[in-house]
Chains A and B, each alone.
Chain A
Amino acid sequence: MATRMKLKLKTVFVLYFMVSLLGLIYALMQLGQRCDCTEHDIPKDRTISRLRGELHRLQEQIRKSEATKQPQKPPARQPTVFVITPTYARLVQKAELTRLSQTFLHVPQLHWIVVEDSPHKTPLVTDLLVKSGVTYTHLHMPTAKDRKLQEGDPSWLKPRGVEQRNEGLRWLREDRRAQPGGDNQQGVVYFADDDNTYSLQIFEEMRSTQRVSVWPVGLVGGMKYERPVVEGGKVVRFHTGWRPSRPFPMDMAGFAVSLKLVLSNPEACFDGEAPMGFLESSFLQGLVTMDELEPKADNCSKVLVWHTRTEKPKMKREEALHAQGLGSDPAVEV
């Protein structure tokens, strides 16, 4: 009698368990399914269909205007501007790269080469580049420990971005060598730091670079702007408040080099051992002489790029909270 009772209980239990399991699986499958919320869908569907109608209308407009522009369009494509940007992880990195990408997105035929100062590619930069819509190449090259700025070091103590810019040049040379046309390719190489501000006109000015072109840079060298002084269409000297006796006393953002010159001088790169302020000169010295420089920006009289710097955000409260174990969620990317 007792065993039969036990057996019955066992079967009941097993049946109950199976039913519960099936119910659970059913519920989990229901999770991914749509619910019956038609009253939310109808106005959204209406908006979607109106937007689609507008999209078709705009696409027609673009197609019509392209068709009329066709005979006037020049057969050759514009030379590509290759922008090399070294970047490193810090609080404002995502913000800086975001607003930089928003500027670059306006420039046609631009190829952004981002080189991270990191032993591997970070997901933050990877995702940002994918979402940005800009044509890009994502590289990485860590700076050697003894060459790296430590916390609390003044920004001028060690040169920054040297290994990263050289890596960008190395990749560019390797990539372009594989292209048809060899050393006769059209293009311009520009070194753009991630905290500067660029107007859209500067990219159009630099596109016609034959060797090395130069222009003024705002808010640099302890002055409102630094610029090359142009007489008779040629650069005769440089107007700068700091060490004007340097071979090329200008900022990284103040010049662009033609791709042809970069490819035909495969050893030209930035010298990390150069004294402070001579980084640009270490690169340009082997490439060009002062009278070969091409002045842009209306004979170097307009400021189209500014050497802005972003403040380090104050994290006192964050650090205090962190000590208490109550810091903000690190999973939220900033």
Chain B
Amino acid sequence: MPKRRDIVAIVLIVLPWTLLITVWHQSTITPLLATQKDDRRDGRSNSRNTFAFKESCSLQNRDIVEVVRTEYVYSRPPPWSDILSTIHVITPTYSRPVQKAELTRLANTLLHVPNLHWILVEDSQRRTTLVTHLLRDMGLNYTHLNVETPRNYKIRGDTRDPRIPRGTIQRNLALRWLRETFNVNSSQPGIVYFADDDNTYSLELFEEMRSTKKVSVWPVAFVGGLRYESPKVNTLGKVYGWKTVFDPHRPFAIDMAGFAVNLRLILSKPQAYFKLRGVKGGYQESSLLKELVTLGDLEPKAANCTKVLVWHTRTEKPVLVNEGKKGFTDSNVEI
């Protein structure tokens, strides 16, 4: 009996000390809790910094309905800041019926982001009037480029070279333009992000990528046949792997929309481009990133890669059966 009492006594003595030690251990190594708190605060205060609005909540008697009235003082796009880094968004685009719609709603999103420079690269021989007029009317800070992907004319008709993933040549042209326009020695801070015209981006994402020092990464929804793919982040805040099903052993198992690169890194490595030929499906992003950075240098964003801030949405091809062979609608009307 005294033996059991002794054991109980020893356990009760040791328990608080082990708890103490683990608590101390956590609080010194992982500042996770602190950053989580900051994140939520930053999200709110960010929106207050870029636009000024007065908010007054009025709760009605019935608790099922809540009417929130905000007076929004906005200017499209937000005024240029001398302090924030510029985000260069590279978007390849090509002509198809939904092109104008996609570019319109993407522009509506980008118009909220301060210090944004949109580099739109058309897959065409000449710059189309549709895109030219759209860019001119939107009011965004933009650069309009174009380069045509060479087509291999097959027996069935013109189909693109299947070995060149779509948008590659256009993205490479944008990278070349950046290298020709900006000097690596200048102090202009900038971030480069590849944004396809059919994805959906939250405004929080652009603020997360602004602090990129080399290459930052975050989760992307609806890729790889999963709800989302994300980098694996350890308790020290470093990326050590990829939470994907489709070939997680790729050097960088991440979607185009899941990373951003600091402009200085792009300029300092002028030979880094997306590989054109001989690239396996899913290895496009790795072909660029392995020239720029190693796995350990990656900076995880979006609360250590636990929040989804970008969705890889795809727009359905519209059914145009009623157009018939000659086209039912007036082709002069731009859609």
Interchain CB contact under 8 A, B81 and A54 = yes
Q: Is the CB of B335 within 8 A of A225?
A: yes
Say yes or no for B59: interface residue by CB 8 A criterion: no
Distance of A299 Cα from B145 Cα, bound (Å)? 33
Q: Complex formed: what's the CA distance from A108 to B49 in Å?
A: 19
Query: Which residues in window 220-276 of A have CB below 8 A to B?
Result: 220-225, 227, 239, 241-242
**CB pair B83 A197 closer than 8 Å:** no
Docked Cα-Cα span, A130 to B111, in Å, equals 20
Size of B's binding interface in residues, CB under 8 A: 80
Residues of B within 8 A of A318 (CB): 225-227
**A303 lies within 8 A of chain B by Cβ:** yes
- Is A224 touching B13 in the complex (CB atoms < 8 A)? no
Residue A321 at the chain B interface, CB threshold 8 Å:
yes
B17/A216 in contact, CB under 8 A: no
As a 0/1 sequence over residues 5 to 29 of chain B, the CB contacts with chain A under 8 angstroms (1 = contact) are: 0000100110011011001100100
**A306/B83 in contact, CB under 8 A:** no
Candidates A130, A303, A321, A332; contact of B335 at CB < 8 Å:
A303
Residues of B within 8 A of A310 (CB): 313-316
Taking residues whose C-beta sits less than 8 angstroms from the other chain, chain A's interface range is 35 or more
Residues in B with CB closer than 8 Å to A47 are: 83
- Closest partner residue, chain A, to B199 (CB atom): A95
A334 to B229, CA, bound (A): 11
Evaluate whether A223 and B105 lie within 8 angstroms (CB atoms) in the complex, with A138-B66, A318-B226 already known: no
User: In the complex the two chains form, is A135's CB within 8 Å of B69's CB?
Assistant: yes
**In chain B, residues 66-104, which have Cβ atoms closer than 8 Å to a Cβ of chain A?**
66-70, 72-76, 79, 81-83, 97-98, 100-102, 104
Contact of A316 among B33, B225, B314, B335 (CB under 8 A): B225
B334 within 8 A of A: yes
> A216 contacts which of B73, B83, B221, B333 (Cβ < 8 Å)?
B333
> Once bound together, how far apart are the Cα atoms of A27 and B23, in whole Å?
7
Contacting residues, chain A, for B73 (C-beta < 8 A): 62
Alpha-carbon gap, A307 to B317, bound state (A): 11
Chain B residues whose CB sits within 8 angstroms of the CB of A306 once the complex forms: 98, 100-101, 104, 335
Closest to A40 in B: B31
Contact A317 B226 (CB under 8 A): yes
Q: Which of A133, A314, A328 contacts B228 (CB 8 A)?
A: A328
A153 is an interface residue with CB less than 8 A from chain B: no
For B226, list chain A residues within 8 Å (CB).
Answer: 315, 317-318, 321, 328
A170 to B84, CA, bound (A): 46
B288 at the interface (CB under 8 A from A): no
Chain A contacts for B183, CB-based, 8 A: none
* Residue A122 at the chain B interface, CB threshold 8 Å: no
B231 to chain A, nearest CB (A): 13
Q: Is B318 an interface residue (CB 8 A)?
A: yes
Pick the contact of A308: B76, B98, B109, B112 (CB < 8 A).
Answer: B98
Q: Which residues of B contact A308 (CB under 8 A)?
A: 98, 101-102, 315-316, 318
Q: Is A131 an interface residue (CB 8 A)?
A: yes
User: Roughly how many angstroms separate A313 CA and B221 CA in the complex, as a whole number?
Assistant: 9
Bound state CA distance, A55 and B82, in angstroms? 11
Cβ contacts under 8 Å, B101 to chain A:
197, 218-219, 306, 308
Q: Known contacts A105-B112, A301-B333, A317-B225: does B83 contact A54 (CB below 8 Å)?
A: yes
- Give Cα A222 to B101, complex, Å: 16
Give the distance to chain A from B29, nearest Cβ to Cβ, in Å. 12
The answer to whether B104 touches A317 (Cβ under 8 A) is no
Given A94-B311, A308-B315, CB of A200 within 8 Å of CB of B108: yes
B63 to chain A, nearest CB (A): 11
Check B329–A239 contact: CB distance below 8 A: yes
Q: Report Cα–Cα, A313/B201, bound state, in Å.
A: 16
Q: Which of B12, B19, B53, B313 contacts A24 (CB 8 A)?
A: B19
> When chains A and B are docked, how far (Å) is the Cα of A99 from the Cα of B52?
21
By a beta-carbon cutoff of 8 Å, the part of chain B in contact with chain A is: 9, 12-13, 16-17, 19-20, 23-24, 27, 33, 43, 47, 49, 51-53, 64-70, 72-76, 79, 81-83, 97-98, 100-102, 104-105, 108-109, 111-112, 200-203, 219, 221-222, 224-228, 243, 245-246, 306-308, 311-316, 318-323, 327-329, 333-335
Q: Which residues of A contact B (CB under 8 A)?
A: 9, 13, 16-17, 20-21, 23-24, 27-28, 30-31, 47, 50-51, 54-55, 58-59, 61-62, 91-92, 94-96, 98-99, 102-103, 105-106, 108, 129-131, 133-140, 171, 175, 197-200, 216, 218-225, 227, 239, 241-242, 301-303, 306-311, 313-318, 320-321, 327-328, 332-334
Inter-chain pairs besides A224-B97, A317-B246, 16 sampled, C-beta below 8 Å: A20-B20, A23-B20, A27-B24, A51-B81, A91-B222, A96-B200, A96-B313, A99-B108, A197-B102, A220-B318, A224-B329, A310-B315, A310-B316, A328-B243, A332-B306, A334-B311
